[in-house]
Chains A and B, each alone.
Chain A
């Protein structure tokens, strides 16, 4: 998608929003130390930075959640200070968060008109008029949403679009999108980008917070990079490249050659094909059929990193869940080390040395209110106990060792997991399985919502596991991630493995993506 040009002459000469020299401290911690940002009408301004760089603090100040210590905010050249989210909203700033503020049981139209429903003289709802108004709005903005569809039954991208429309129905000048694509498939991404384009045509300014650099190039006009609470720089997107941005984000100390390699996406296939995947079959699936799988054939060797590529809903997550014992098998067979594997649940899978790092760490991976220590020991409680009594010394000691080994940024083992950043939370999930007993490591979207630095460290952990002889099965929407990590990649379409490619057979993300798309259409025609 080519972004439309910014038309600055249309505005009065002042930017929509100007943030200047913004400072903010929490206790003794300086979250922002002089951040500046300008957003013009019709512009998509990407905001980049590692977790903790100050992006969310800045957004929370703009949306009136936090106050600021020093500096200034101007809207249309007029200085403002928000005391509450309502005041920020009044000034025309709308934030679309990841956790959407929609009522799932109501229709799109009812959600859009929430709290401004047309009513008759006696306070009864005028349903027809409500739907008509919603429909008019959607038509006027050319948005492909059915006002009668129930929000709860819509795919995530459409729910997000509803949320954006809801923001648009008010008098929005600046729309802030906070990591909008982290839960989207590539098709759904396109829907979101189209919606953003629609928004731009209303001369709204968009602040786009993301971890994914390729999106920056797809959609934004300018990029501002924050690091440690300060501006590193603002770039015109058309005049910059991945290398520059990655260097700006991670700073001089972390800019490992490999981190650049990940994001350049070009030097990827030049990685040495590893010799470690010569082992024999560790895990073999033969025509496995259940409620979501339609005959999966797959083999995983000792020391191999095996990717599962496919769209969301293709069955890649379900393959992992089936191996982990979460889904019973109707037909077919799973063999582990040559003998048939019969398991009835995760407890038995874990017993056999199978570990799953699930897709959603907050919902499936961690007990957020509990300490790192407690989360860490949970899958191996018998190991941390003597005759069922918990050996606390051993527990704390091993947790501390894991915190150091995985370089988890936390004050100590008793820190609540809720208080850690996304990357560090994910490392805690990895730590649970980072031990000799893990023979098969199942990873589902292992780096979603994880910043660049932590992502590299997680890749290191995955490679380490494989080097020590474990088999790794990794499902991911991020194809360049699979290409970077995997020895082989199986393409999953509609509950089946369509093809398994060796390292010398897949070239780059685009190539792999085309493969998935083509297989998808083939499959559709065959059916």
Chain B
């Protein structure tokens, strides 16, 4: 009986070419095509509904607006596949932005000083999240609920809630306003984070360890995976990416503010889940996350273009997220 199944499956699968293997890796057919379909339907609906929607300018606009969520969601994908959650990303972003701006204002006004301070601060918040979660065995939901509050408080405390102005032109160009490889800098950074995420998650043994740690921590432990270390690195990566997002945001607004992007973690987590990650860990893929964040970005953009009031936007967005996940879950 099993032999027969084996035979039918074998004949059904075409010869595995390099291209199809790549496609399989990136698109992960286990998440239904509904997701891609949903995105296309969304585009079509908005194209008909708004004359301004279907233009390159607007798509670049969506790309720019989605950048922050996309970059952070790439990191969140690692954390969620590892079976954890990070609620502190928005606060880590705000704190990293403050660190970058303060470093350039007080230490040395070079772009890389700001970049290092921002990325380092984000990574440090991640390290604290990871260490508390794995060493003290506190659920990451609670740990990051704590750092969500504490990091935001710290960001507000350092300047007594005042914004810090940035004056470094180079910094603006590299992270916010210039072009890198012919693309607007924020989109180029999103692309870089995506490619890095794909390589790390799907082609590196770090990714394999992340999947195993979330898929079945006990089996991973019994297979010699250092779950605590791997999980901690996932948090550090997410923190560092929140730092990168902070650089992009502060370079665009020429200042760092302690009260930015409050509640962004919801969009980030929604993107990751919409993109096919299991909240229980062990399942998910980077391009799904990117698409998830684009869907949410497109939704935000389209609803604005249609002139939907902002309270109504929130309601519609919430309903669509829940419906999409329920629908695509079979």
Residues of A within 8 A of B (CB): 28-31, 52, 228-229, 324, 326, 345-347, 349-351, 356, 358, 363-370, 374-375, 377-379, 381-382, 384-385, 388-390, 392, 409-412, 421, 432
Residues of chain A lying within 8 A (CB to CB) of residue B26: none
Chain B, Cβ-Cβ closest to A432: B223
The secondary-structure label for the interface of chain B is helix
B48 contacts the other chain (CB 8 A): no
Choose from B5, B10, B205 the contact partner of A382 (Cβ within 8 Å). B205
Residue of A28, A378, A412, A432 touching B4 (CB-CB under 8 A): A28
Would you list 19 pairs from A and B whose C-beta atoms are within 8 A, ordered by A residue? A28-B8, A324-B222, A345-B221, A346-B221, A346-B223, A367-B215, A367-B216, A370-B215, A370-B282, A379-B223, A384-B205, A389-B203, A389-B205, A390-B207, A392-B21, A409-B6, A411-B6, A411-B9, A412-B13
A350 to B206, CA, bound (A): 18
Please measure, in the bound complex, the distance between the C-alpha atom of A346 and the C-alpha atom of B218, giving whole angstroms. 11
Residues of B within 8 A of A365 (CB): 219, 222
A379 to B224, Cβ gap below 8 A? yes
- When the two chains form the complex, which single residue of A229, A363, A375, A379 contacts B218, counting CB atoms closer than 8 Å? A363
* A369 to B218 alpha-carbon distance, docked (Å): 14
Contact A346 B216 (CB under 8 A): no
Residues of B close to A388: CB separation below 8 A: 204-206
Asked whether any CB of chain A lies closer than 8 Å to the CB of B220, the reply is: yes
**Additional 15 contacts, C-beta under 8 A, given A324-B222, A364-B218, A368-B216:** A29-B4, A52-B1, A346-B223, A350-B223, A368-B215, A369-B283, A370-B215, A378-B212, A385-B205, A388-B204, A390-B204, A390-B207, A411-B9, A412-B13, A421-B2
Known: A363-B218, A390-B204. A370 touches B211 (CB 8 A): yes
The answer to whether A409 and B3 touch across the interface, beta carbons within 8 angstroms, is yes
The residue that A31 contacts in the complex, of B1, B203, B221, with Cβ under 8 A, is B1
Chain B residues whose C-beta falls within 8 Å of the C-beta of A382 in the assembled complex = 205
B219/A364 in contact, CB under 8 A: yes
Closest to B199 in A: A389
Q: How large is the interface on B (under 10, 10 to 19, 20 to 34, 35 or more residues)?
A: 20 to 34
User: Bound state CA distance, A385 and B209, in angstroms?
Assistant: 13
B262 CB contacts on chain A under 8 angstroms: none
Residues of A within 8 A of B208 (CB): 374, 377-378, 381, 390
CB distance from B323 to the nearest CB of A (A): 25
A390: which of B2, B205, B283 is its contact (CB, 8 Å)? B205
Query: B228: nearest residue on chain A (CB-CB)?
Result: A345
**Which listed residue (A52, A363, A412) contacts B2, Cβ 8 A?**
A52
Min CB distance B268 to A, Å, is 24
Select A369's contact among B8, B215, B222, beta carbons within 8 Å: B215
Q: How far is the CA of A356 from the CA of B219 in the complex (A)?
A: 11
Q: Given A347-B224, A370-B282: A411 and B211 within 8 A (CB)?
A: no
Which residues of B are found within 8 Å of A30, using beta-carbon distances? Answer: 1
For A384, give the chain B residue with the smallest CB separation. Answer: B205
**Most chain A C-beta atoms within 10 Å of own C-beta, residue among B1, B10, B225:** B1
Determine the chain B residues whose CB is within 8 A of the CB of A412 once the complex forms. Answer: 9-10, 13
Chain A residues with CB under 8 Å of B206's CB are 388
Contact between A358 and B211, CB atoms less than 8 A apart: no
Q: What separation, in Å, do the CA atoms of A138 and B285 have in the docked complex?
A: 53
Counting CB contacts under 8 A, is B50 at the interface?
Answer: no
Which B residues between 171 and 219 are near A, CB-CB below 8 angstroms?
203-209, 211-212, 215-216, 218-219
If the complex has contacts A367-B219, A367-B220, A367-B282, are A347 and B225 also in contact, measured as CB distance less than 8 A? Answer: yes
The answer for the CA separation of A347 and B209 in the assembled complex, in Å, is 13
